[in-house]
Amino acid sequence: MIAFVKGKFIFKNPAQVIVDVNGVGYECQVSLHTYSAISNKENGQLFTYLHITENNQTLYGFFELSEKELFIQLISVSGVGAATARMMLSGMKPDEIIKAIVQSNARLLESIKGIGRKTGERLVLELKDKLSKNLQETVLTASVTNKVENDALNALISLGIPRQNAEKAIKNVIDVNESSLQLEDLVKKALKNI
Convert 109-129 to b/e letters by CB count within 10 Å (16 or more is b): bbebeebeeebbebbbebbee
By the 8 A CB rule, do 150 and 124 touch?
no
List the domains of the chain with CATH numbers: 4-62 (2.40.50.140), 65-134 (1.10.150.20), 144-193 (1.10.8)
Q: Strand locations in the chain, DSSP E? A: 4-12, 16-21, 24-30, 43-52, 57-62
Q: What is the pTM of this model?
A: 0.69
pLDDT in tens, 58-100: 999 999 988 999 999 999 999 899 999 999 999 898 888 998 9
